Structure formats: structure tokens, C-alpha cells
Structure 1
């Protein structure tokens, strides 16, 4: 078990094309994170989308390890005709922090219905599920699943 996990999500850039940066810091209870892999299951709300072709290109260039879980969705559909989607992302260990992992995911805003107020629309990105696999040597492996 982990005594403390700090999850931080940042949205970078402005406009319709943004980047979601996910950072995870583990407490001192996991001794050797060098043997661990962290898989992030990120839920993308209907107001956003992830382009699977862009993900494939980023994987080929070794920029991110992410794959769409959801199938049969239209990246051009407006938010009111869309559903939540899921993306699996392998986080990489942060070279600046020994107990940290981070992942990068490009996200794009969908078109929303026009409204007469101030013109702002808010999209809430919920916390992801975290799944960790650690190889402890001598055939022993441990798993950690953290959900909100």
C-alpha cells in the first residue's frame, strides 16, 4: 500500500488544441520504483477528444505511449453528440524526481452548442485510474490499483 499518492493534472496551451500533463508522485512506501510501470486510464469527457491518428504518430516518434480504448467515435462530432472515451497511457519516470511519473496527452476541444451568456464553456477532466506493476525480482510481482 502507498502512504501517499499525489496526482496533478495540468492543461497546457490555449485554444482548441491543448496538452494534458499528468504527474504522479508516490510516497516513501514503495522502495524501488525503478522496477515499476505505471499505467494511467484517463477518462476523456464528451467535451474533449483525443485523435487516435495523432497518438499513433506520437508513439512512432517515442513521445508518448498511449492508446485509445474506446472505439467507434467520431472526432468531428460536437460534444452533445459525443460520449466519454478512455485512453490508456504508460507514464514515464520523471528524471527530475525519483518518486515521480508523468504522462503527456494531446487533447482537443469539441464544438459546443452556442449560448447567449458570456461564451465560456467548462469541461471537467476527472482523475484517472492508476494501475502500477512492479517486478520485485525472484518471480515476485506486485500490483497496485488506485481509483478515485
Structure 2
């Protein structure tokens, strides 16, 4: 669980005056905090849940935040043992759950874990201006699916998730020059807890050998029966 955050802002596509204005106000820098992240659900299909806490009581003039138009940009880096289905995610965009979403890296859904590469998901989420006026928790759930895992002695493969990168992109509503400010949430390494772990069933090597032995015995039995099924004993 993440309790504290440092923040960095970067001015893009605009003049220094806009950056100076944001630095002097400090409103956007003081309200973001990543609260928690976890894998929820059961089986091979789960959801990666991330909670973003908006602390408007830290801003000197929270009411002025209504003059900004903002959206969250969340970058999740997925381990090789899981994948996000691009078609499923596009349905969420069509339903209005996300503003936009994209999957980068290995998008082959059929590959097993040991043949696949890592991928990442970039999520864009609109922030209603009214949300910025009161302390709020925003929860983002990303559906994920487990790949086929290699056999091992424990019967499980463990995949670990790190902390996502989170940006809040804000611009003045009346800003005709399309100037924007990015506020990045940088997690404090001292306050981050254990990595998020998903234990995926993989099957045991010992069981695989047993299945192979049983299958071989079954085939031998079938062959013997077919060969001697037409043989009759004469006296």
C-alpha cells in the first residue's frame, strides 16, 4: 500500500508562464496520492484494482480547481504471465468506463507464459471537475487473464506486479493555446509495501509423469485388445 507521494510536473506544448502559474498555485501538486493496489477476483480471470486518493483539503484554494479540465493517465506494466485482452478493453471504452486505452507489447493471447513477452496498458480516464472539489477515492479496475504456465514442483507460478505510473494531465478550460501540465505521482520507495502477487495454477511435474504413464498404459491395452479380439481358441 502506498501512503505518500512526491510529485513532479512537466510543461508540454506551452510557455513558461503557464508552468510558473501552476508552481505558484501548488493546487494540483498537493491533491494526489496513490492509496492502494491489489488483484481481486478468483481463477484465471481477475482484475487489477488501483485506488487514487484525491486530497483536496491539502490545496490552498480547492474551489479554483473547477477551472481546470483534467484526466488521469495510468500506465500498468504487466508481467509475462498475464495479459490484457485489447478487444475486451475496447468494449469498456465504448461503454464509457475509460476515455481511451491501449495495449503495447505482446498482444498474442494464445501464447503460453514461457513463450510470451511482457506488455503494458495505458489507460486514460476523464476526471469530473466536481470530483476535484471534495476528498474522493477513484478506483480503476483493469481486467486481466492468466497465460498457461510451465509445470513446476509447487503446482503454482507466481507473477508480481509493480506500482503503476500515474499522471494527471490538466489544462485551463479557456486556454486557447492548448497548454497543458502533467503532474506525476512518484511513489516513495520507503512507503511501498510488498509487491502484488498472483499465484497461477500450473500443474505439477510429478502429476504430468503420472498422466503420461496412465495414457501409455491405456493405449497399450487398446492395441492388445484390437489385435486379439478376432482370435478364437480351438480345441
Structure 1 and Structure 2 fold alike (TM over 0.5) = yes
Look up the match of 2:146.
109
Aligned to 2:36: 8
Q: TM-score, normalised by structure 1?
A: 0.81
Matching residue within 45, 61, 68 for 1:17: 45
Structure 2: stretches of 5+ with no match in the other structure: 1-28, 188-235
Question: SS at 2:135's partner residue?
Answer: coil
Q: Are 1:58 and 2:86 counterparts?
A: no
Structure 1 residue 86, shift from structure 2 partner: 1.1
Which structure's residues are more often helix, by fraction?
Answer: 2
CA distance in 1, matches of 2:33, 2:181: 17
Contact 1:64 1:103 in 2 (8 A): no
In the alignment, is the contact (CA less than 8 A) between 2:77 and 2:121 conserved in 1? Answer: yes
Change (3 A) 1:47 1:65: farther
Relative to the length of structure 2, the TM-score reads 0.54
Which of 168, 173, 186 is the equivalent residue of 1:132? 168
Structure 2 vs 1, CA of residues 70 and 112 (structure 1 numbering), >3 Å: closer, same or farther? same
Q: How many residues align?
A: 146
Aligned to 1:83: 117
Structure 1: gaps (5+ residues): none
- 1:49 paired to 2:77: no
What RMSD in Å do the two structures reach over aligned CA positions? 2.7
1:66–1:45: structure 2 CA closer, same or farther, 3 Å change rule?
farther
Match of 1:62, SS state, is coil
Cα distance, 1:68 vs structure 2: 2.4
Give every structure 1 segment of 4 or more consecutive aligned residues whose post-TM-superposition deviation is greater than 4 Å.
92-95
